[in-house]
Structure 1
Amino acid sequence: MKIIGFAASSSSVSINKQLVTYAASQLKDCEIEILDLNDYELPLFSQDKEQQLGQPPLAQAFIDKIQSADGLLISFAEHNGSYTVAYKNLFDWASRINSKVYEDKALVLLSTSPGPGGAKSVLATAEGSMPFFGGTVKASLSVPSFYDNFDSEQGKLTNTELNAQLLSALELLQA
């Protein structure tokens, strides 16, 4: 089984990238690839830019990665209660090539933030919208207060209850 994971963030120190990388490391007997959204940086989407540029190769490359996977593991950063610009922009470009960006793939959606909210707002938005774009959400998990529940030096979730919930979610991805 091939799993593609990524953090919906362009931050070089993304806590969501730490979380998705840890989660992916817990999958057994899978081929794992972690994408970096910075490898798919595109101009801000607009119809004018689309007419000018056509379909950018990086947007197609992102869709090709999605198509190559059996399942997806995505951790959403939250900016002002919503998606990061980096994720939303890439998604907008990709959806113009294929409106079913997530190609009937099984998804486990994660989110985290430094605060107690755990980026639940953006996670709820993602859960609600994924089916419209071809994704099948198998499970989701918000990790609140990242620095209290995750050891960045060891790269692992230290909260045993949250870790058990994560492992249960990952089992659904592999089912």
Structure 2
Amino acid sequence: MSFILAFAGSNSSTSINFELVKHTGSLIISEKVEIMNMYDRPFPMYSEDHEREHGYSNSLNEIKRDIQLSKGIIISVNEHNSYPSAYFKNLIDWLSRLDRDFIRDKKVMLMATSNGGRGAIGALEVTDKLLTRFGANIVATFSLSRYKENFKVDEGILNSDLAEQHQSLLNNFLKAIQ
């Protein structure tokens, strides 16, 4: 059975990026969507010593499997000081050690949101380069600025122009995975 895997690059229990991921997943009716909450997936900071002594966790192997079995991936990355969070970078470090081709040829819709006016564009740019390095095919990129003004959990994206842009990019992603 094929599915779209969707998750945020944040392990926060109050992640606004996870809210954006859930909203995006709810708009997809033509495909099965598996939404993964990274809050439930802690990982130690990557180190060669830890890898040598403990190997790879079951959770890491499950994430890799889900990425590779999916027909497409939706990721919304959070931003800390204009870069993706240490949690997300750590996840990519672990996955790339487990299998350098963990995301090769996967079509990705990459998103980010923040409360600021730039909409986590710095994290988007870095993540685009990082995932492309491992063979991901970024087919759509969306930034939602001013989250508190432009998004409500029960309503979705409030700004009609941003909502239309998001839907158009989602449609492009869905066409790309067919």
Pick the TM interval, shorter chain.
over 0.9
Correspondence 1:106-145 to 2 at 5 A: 106-145=107-146
Whether the 8 Å CA contact 2:11–2:87 is kept in 1: the answer is yes
Say whether residues 1:170 and 2:170 are aligned partners.
Answer: yes
Q: Which residue of structure 2 lines up, in the alignment, with residue 53 of structure 1?
A: 54
Aligned equivalents of 1:111, 1:38: Cα separation in 2:
17
The alignment of Structure 1 onto Structure 2 pairs a total of residues equal to: 174
Q: Which residue of structure 1 lines up, in the alignment, with residue 81 of structure 2?
A: 80
Deviation at 1:30, TM superposition (A): 0.7
Aligned equivalents of 2:150, 2:102: Cα separation in 1:
32
Deviation at 1:155, TM superposition (A): 4.3
Off by >3 Å, runs of 4+ in structure 1: none
Whether the 8 Å CA contact 1:82–1:122 is kept in 2: the answer is yes
After superposition, the Cα gap between the structure-2 partners of 1:53 and 1:23, relative to the gap in structure 1 and judged at 3 Å, is same
Say whether residues 1:63 and 2:64 are aligned partners.
Answer: yes
Aligned equivalents of 1:75, 1:126: Cα separation in 2:
10
**Amino acid corresponding to residue 108 of structure 2 in structure 1:** L
Task: Provide the alpha-carbon RMSD of the alignment.
Answer: 1.2
Q: Which residue of structure 1 lines up, in the alignment, with residue 3 of structure 2?
A: 2
TM-score by length of 1: 0.94
Aligned equivalents of 1:95, 1:150: Cα separation in 2:
33
Whether the 8 Å CA contact 2:11–2:40 is kept in 1: the answer is no
Question: Unaligned stretches of 5+ in structure 2?
Answer: none
Deviation at 1:168, TM superposition (A): 1.1
Q: Which residue of structure 2 lines up, in the alignment, with residue 104 of structure 1?
A: 105
**Amino acid corresponding to residue 136 of structure 1 in structure 2:** N
Whether the 8 Å CA contact 1:113–1:144 is kept in 2: the answer is yes
Whether the 8 Å CA contact 1:40–1:90 is kept in 2: the answer is no
Deviation at 1:92, TM superposition (A): 1.0
Q: Which residue of structure 2 lines up, in the alignment, with residue 160 of structure 1?
A: 160
Aligned equivalents of 1:90, 1:128: Cα separation in 2:
15
SS of 2:138's partner is strand
Aligned equivalents of 2:21, 2:56: Cα separation in 1:
28
Q: How much identity, in percent, do the aligned residues show?
A: 32
TM-score by length of 2: 0.93
Q: Which residue of structure 2 lines up, in the alignment, with residue 93 of structure 1?
A: 94
Deviation at 1:55, TM superposition (A): 2.2
Whether the 8 Å CA contact 1:41–1:90 is kept in 2: the answer is no
Aligned equivalents of 1:97, 1:6: Cα separation in 2:
19
